[in-house]
Amino acid sequence: MTASYYGDQDTCRDLAFLPRDLFWLILELLEPKDLVRCRLVSRAWNQAFRNPDNLLPLFKKHFFWTQEFKDLQPGSSTYDGTSDLPDSIRHAFDEVVARYDHLERGKPRSVQRHRLCGDLGSSWERQWFPVQPWEAHGSQYLGNVDRQFEEAMWSYEDGLVVFPRAEHQYLVLLDLSSDRQFMVPFIIQGKVIRRVRLQKRVLVVEWAEPKAFHWLNESDGVHRHFASSFDVSPKVDDDGGWDIIPRNEWKIMFLGHPLSERDRFFSAHSKTHYVIYIWQPNRSLYTADDDAPIESLFVWDISKQSDYRPSLDPTGAQKGPEVDQAPSIVARFGYQDLEFFNVRQRGFPCIQQLEVTDDGQAVYIIENARIFPADEEPEAFGVPQTIVTGIPVNGIGPSVRISPRFILTAYRSNDSFQQMPLFEGWDMVDTWNSIIAQVTDPLSGVIFRLHFADIETSEDLDSIYLTIETEKTLVSKEAIDLDGRAKLCGCEKYIIGETRNRELVIYRFDR
């Protein structure tokens, strides 16, 4: 709304009544949040600065990547072309402006908290025992991990969070768009949960039996370990609802695995395949090589639906079509195979990420190491080096070994296996060591960075800060609500972390 005259009076010199061309020159100089504030000046200003003919071009200029803007475009699932479109434009614009105002100030609009299950279950026996992180890793200065974080027992993917709810002692799926919760049909009682991971809309829960079925020595007993998978898909008859349907179960290690702090396994999965890397100290009394842990890698086909539960068939005597449909191993790699592909870790691991392709034809092992100039003494910084090795699952064909353009955070937790790369290029090589976790929203470019206070030396390992970087601002604040784990997830609308007292915390910037 702009006009040259105000009623029958003389020409009005108020900004809201300037000719449209002049008014637009002023709009181009204002920040989006200033457009909203200008509505408070007068009734005329309110009408001019909420006019959808003015807002829509500015919406496109400043926030074209947002879902709210896309929903206003013809052809989108939410666009109906009705007379309410002007109100929709104003509402969507104001919501996005409010979100980015809070992002730029580093202040969430609301905070949600969910109490997580403790280590012990209702029977006061250990029920949650995450795989322990390594004490030494090649990405750390001289190999010694400066601070270790326990693996988080929750997982996030594309607006969905799976976490163990303390109130009723079960796993729930939380949809962040609707704030609705859905129970995962998985019985926790009588199991020791090792890991929970939602990936490719497939939920995998890795767990062990609480009692050992045989003993390696006086202190280490071997427990059978299993993985249970679930398909997560939208409900057809419920807008915003989710179906969590059990797919199958498999025994992830033939000889079992001790429930100890020294034995470790790392895994990943796609829609149809599952890969697990196993690293165990050599307990043999007849070896002189103390730096030769037992290493192996297995790839499973988990694509078929099966009611067979190997945890209920300890002798393996059950037969039938459901057994034939059960997950099966499609590739095995022993320590000699890993040595051949130059990915055997031995006693000084560098592996930090593990992936299996959607077609199950290749496994990618990503290693992260800190290197130092050969002619100089090691410095506290060093230079990060990331190596990606691709291994053909069928054992036929060439392997690949490349140095990508991204680098990873320094290893401090098993959750590093699910972390996003820090960045492309080498603009932050001098500060990479202090970063604990980082999330980059690919559309908006908003970056959330969890890091130690001292970026260069990381001497203060107790103070952890959250930095939010947008196109226009960079703000840092102490992250007392997010310092419990080396894990940070989310997007421009929210970020998710965990406190030290087992609370899942969600910072909402969208509402």
Measured CA to CA, the distance from residue 142 to residue 222 in angstroms comes to: 33
What is the pLDDT, as a whole number, of residue 11?
Answer: 47
Region 240-244 average pLDDT: 91
> Residue 187 has what pLDDT?
93
Q: Comparing 19 with 487, which gets the higher pLDDT?
A: 487
Query: Which of 1-10, 259-268, 449-458, 481-490 has the least mean pLDDT?
Result: 1-10
Most confident of 213-222, 226-235, 470-479: 226-235
Domain 15-105 CATH (choose: 1.10.10, 1.20.1280, 2.60.40, 2.40.50): 1.20.1280
Flag whether pLDDT at 314 surpasses 60.
yes
Judge whether 233 and 182 are in contact, CB under 8 Å. Answer: no
Contacting residues for 186 by C-beta, under 8 A, at least 6 apart: 170, 171, 205, 228, 230, 246
Neighbours of 148 (CB within 10 A): 15
The CA angle 160-62-490, to the nearest 5 degrees, is 20
In angstroms, the CA 397 to CA 346 distance is: 25
Tell me the pLDDT band of 4, cut-offs 50, 70 and 90.
Answer: very low
What is d(CA 281, CA 289) in angstroms, rounded to the nearest whole number? 11
Instruction: Please check whether residue 459 is in contact with residue 141, taking contact to mean a CB–CB distance below 8 angstroms.
Output: no
Measured between alpha carbons, how far is 358 from 87 in angstroms, rounded to an integer?
A: 43
Whole-structure pTM value = 0.89
Question: Nearest CA to 510 among 66, 52, 35, 87?
Answer: 66
Task: Compute how many other C-beta atoms are within 10 angstroms of the C-beta atom of residue 76.
Answer: 12
The amino acid present at 77, given as its one-letter code, is S
Indicate whether 5 pLDDT > 60: no
Given a cut of 60, whether residue 3 has pLDDT beyond it is no
Residue intervals of the chain classified under CATH 1.20.1280 are: 15-105
Other CB atoms within 10 Å distance of the CB of residue 301: 17
pLDDT tens by residue, 71-97: 887 755 554 555 467 788 888 898 999
Q: Write out pLDDT tens, residues 175-217.
A: 999 999 999 999 999 999 999 999 999 999 999 999 988 887 7
Rounded CA gap, 275 and 339, in Å? 18
Instruction: State CA 383 to chain mean position distance.
Output: 25
What stretches of 116-191 adopt beta strand conformation (E)? 155-157, 160-165, 170-175, 180-183
Q: What is the pLDDT of residue 425?
A: 47
Q: Buried b vs exposed e over 355-378: b needs ≥16 C-beta within 10 Å?
A: bbeeebbbbbbbbbbbeeeeeeee
Does 392 score more than 80 pLDDT? yes
Which of these, 39, 157, 18, lies nearest to 97 by C-alpha position?
Answer: 39
Q: Return the residue matching tokens 């079992």.
A: 256
Asked if residue 268 lies in contact with residue 414, where contact means CB atoms within 8 angstroms, the answer is: no
Count CA within 13 A, CB hemisphere, residue 121.
Answer: 17
pLDDT band for position 290 (50/70/90)?
low
